[in-house]
Structure 1
C-alpha cells in the first residue's frame, strides 16, 4: 500500500503524481456568447443561470475573465477548500478567481475532480493555502500544482468515475426529495403562523399595535464604549431567529454601564413578555419573545422593544403574529434605505393587530405552538437525515477514489440504508 497525504493508503500498484503532471492549465479568451459559469460548493460547475442569480456580485467590466469549456476541471481559488471543485457541464466564462484545466490523455478528469473534492472536504486544502478572508482560503494554481494525487490505470479511473457518477446521482435525488419535503413543511409552518390572527373565524376588526402597547422604543444611542465580556446582556439583532420566537443567545454580548448612564437607559431595558423586533439590516422584521434568559438586558439601537399591555394583548400571541407572513409582508413594504433596509418605530407601531379577547389570543397561540412544534421536529429530523446522507456520500467518494473496494462489483445502495425519505 502507498500513503497519500489527506487520503491515506491506496493500492500499491497505483502511482502517485503531482497534479502538475496530470493536468494542463487553460487560459482561454472569452467569446461574446459566453454566459457566466460558477463553481458551487457542492461540486457542481454550471452556468449561473441554471441554478440562481441572486447573492452574486457581478463585475461591470469583467477584467481578467476567461473562457470555460464543457469538460474542463474548474477549481475555485477562494472556495475550493469547501468543495467548489468540479467538471463544468457547460461552455461559458468565469472570473480570474477560478483556474481551469484539461487532463492528460491518461487521466480521467472526473476522477481527479472527485479526488480533489475529497481532499478539500477532509480539510487538507485548508492546511496548504493562505487564508485571505473569513470562511475562505486561497487555493491557487501554484498550490494545486504540487498536490500529490493517486493515479490508478485509466481504465480503473473511468470505472471509479462512472460508479461515483451513478451513486452520487442517487444520493442527490434522495437529498432533493428531502429538501422538497422540507419546503412543504416550511410552507405548512407559514400557514400555521398566519392562522394565529384568528380573523377568518372571529371576524375581528383591526387596530394599530401602538394602541395595545405601553412602550415602543429602541436603544437609540451608541453602546460601543460600554461593550464588555461581562455585565448586563446586550440584545442585538444577531440574537433573533428568522424562524422561531425564542431568543438566540449564541455569541451574546454584554455591556457595563456607569450608574449615570444606566439610569438614562431604562427605557431600553428588557422585561419578561416584551417583544423584540429587528429594525435594521437583514434581520429587519425578525422577532422574539423575551423570557428570563434576556430579562433586564438592554436592546441595541437596531432592535425595537415592544411592551404589550397584558390586560389587552398576550405577548406570546403578539410575537407569533409579528412572525406571521401577514405582518411580515406589511413590514417589508415599510422598509426604506438603499444598501441597508430599515424599519422605523412608527412602522412597528402601525402594525395592524386583530382586536380579540386575551383569552382567545392565548387559545390561538397555544394551538399554533402545538402544531408548529410538530412541524419543527419533522424539519429537524429531515436536517439530521440530510447531514447523515452528505456524510455517507462523502465517505463513499473517499473510499472509491482510494481503491478501498472494487467498484466493478460494488454497489453504494447499502450506504443509504436507514436514511428514510
Structure 2
C-alpha cells in the first residue's frame, strides 16, 4: 500500500504511524502503479499531495494515476510537480463548493503545461536538490529533536509539580497514575471538589441557531490551540451558537474558568475556558469548587494524559474516553494555597522552556522557507545549480 504525503511525496503507507485511513478488505477498487508513475490525490493536490512514485504498489481508487510515456528524469519531475509553483496551479485548476473541499479534474490535469530543461540538466537539478534538501532536512530533524526534548522536560517538570515530588515525607497513593504523594496531601475523587458537566450539539438543520451568533461553541477543532500544552485558556472558537439554539437543546453555558477535556478525537487534551462557552458532546467539563484551583486541575489533567489514554481510552482507530470512567477520576489535592504556588512554579518553568521552543520554531520556519525557495529556484531555472555553492546554501539558517 502506498500513500501520498504533502511533505514526503509517495511513500509506503506502513512507513508512517500517523495515517488513520483504513485499507479496504476488497482491494479490487485500488490501482496498481509502478516506479515513475505520477500519483495525485485529487482532493488535496492543492496542498501538495502529489508525487512521482519511487515504488511499485497499490494506491487508493480515488487517486489520479498517470503512467509515464517519456524519458524524463523521474526525480526532477518529482521536484518540479511538487514545487510551490505547481501547487498554486493545482489550486487554480481545482473546483468545489467551498474552500478545503475542492478537487482537481483528470481531463484538465492531463493538459497541464510543464517547463522542462534538457535531460542532463534535469539530472543536475535533481542531484543538487537531493543533496541540499537532505542537508536542510537533517538540520531540521536535529532542531525537532531538541524541541521534543524541551517539551519532554517541560512535561516531566509539570508531573513532578502536581505530584509533590519535592517533598520527602510521602505515603502510598490511591491514584492510578502516581505511586506516592506527600503525606499532607490527599488523593480525592474529582467529583467531590468540582461539578462535572458535558455538552451537546443542537440541530444543524436550523441555520438561525448557528448564523451571526454570540455564544462561543467548542468543538474538536479547538484542540489544535492547546497542543504542546503551551496554551492554558481557550479564548476563540471557530463556531458560535445562539441563545435560541441553546434553549432548544441540552447544551449548557459553562462559566469562565471552567476546565474542559476532549474525550473523543484528539482525546485527552484540556484547557480552561477564557470566557463563558458551550461545548459539543465530545467534551466533559468541570466547574471547580473553593477547594480546587482551575489551573491546578488543568495541569493535573495534562500530567495524567498518558494514563487517561492508556488506561481509559477505547477504540483502535479513534480513541474515546467514556463519561462513566471520567466520573471516577481521582486527583492529588494539596491545600488551595499550595495549589496556587504550584501553578506559579509551573508558569515560571514553562516561560523559560517556551522561550527556547519559540527560537527553535523560528529556525524551523526559516529552514522550511529556505527549502521551498531553493526548490522553486532550481526547478524554474532561476538558480544555476552548476555554480551554486552547496557548502553554504543552508548554513546561514542552521
Does the alignment reach a TM-score above 0.5?
A: yes
1:232 equivalent to 2:215? Answer: yes
Q: Unpaired runs of 5+ in structure 1?
A: 1-35
Per the alignment, residue 81 of structure 2 pairs with 116
Measured after TM superposition, the shift of residue 177 of structure 1 is 1.8
Per the alignment, residue 109 of structure 2 pairs with 144
1:321 equivalent to 2:300? Answer: yes
Of 198, 206, 209, 2:190 maps to: 209
Deviations 1:65-90 (A, max 9, x none): 33333344434333333223333333
What SS does structure 2 have at the residue aligned with 1:406?
A: coil
Question: What TM-score, normalized to structure 2?
Answer: 0.81
Of 363, 369, 375, 2:341 maps to: 363
1:90 equivalent to 2:51? Answer: no
Matches within 5 A, 1:401-420: 401-420=379-398
Over 3 Å counting, the alpha-carbon distance change for 1:245 and 1:399 in structure 2 is same
Over 3 Å counting, the alpha-carbon distance change for 1:46 and 1:277 in structure 2 is closer
Distance in 1, matches of 2:40 and 2:214, equals 47
Question: What TM-score, normalized to structure 1?
Answer: 0.77
Asked if the contact 1:119/1:125 (under 8 Å) is kept, the reply is: no
Measured after TM superposition, the shift of residue 313 of structure 1 is 1.8
Matches within 5 A, 1:94-109: 94-96=59-61, 97-102=63-68, 104-105=70-71, 107-109=72-74
1:181 equivalent to 2:146? Answer: yes
1:166 equivalent to 2:131? Answer: yes
Per the alignment, residue 178 of structure 2 pairs with none
Per the alignment, residue 171 of structure 2 pairs with none
Aligned length: 374
What SS does structure 2 have at the residue aligned with 1:46?
A: strand
Of 350, 375, 385, 2:353 maps to: 375
1:392 equivalent to 2:370? Answer: yes
Q: Unpaired runs of 5+ in structure 2?
A: 168-181
Compute the RMSD of aligned alpha carbons.
3.2
Asked if the contact 2:2/2:58 (under 8 Å) is kept, the reply is: yes
Over 3 Å counting, the alpha-carbon distance change for 1:212 and 1:176 in structure 2 is same
Deviations 1:41-66 (A, max 9, x none): 12432222233374122122112433
Moved more, 134-143 or 282-291: 134-143
Distance in 1, matches of 2:105 and 2:322, equals 46
Distance in 1, matches of 2:121 and 2:113, equals 18
Measured after TM superposition, the shift of residue 253 of structure 1 is 0.9
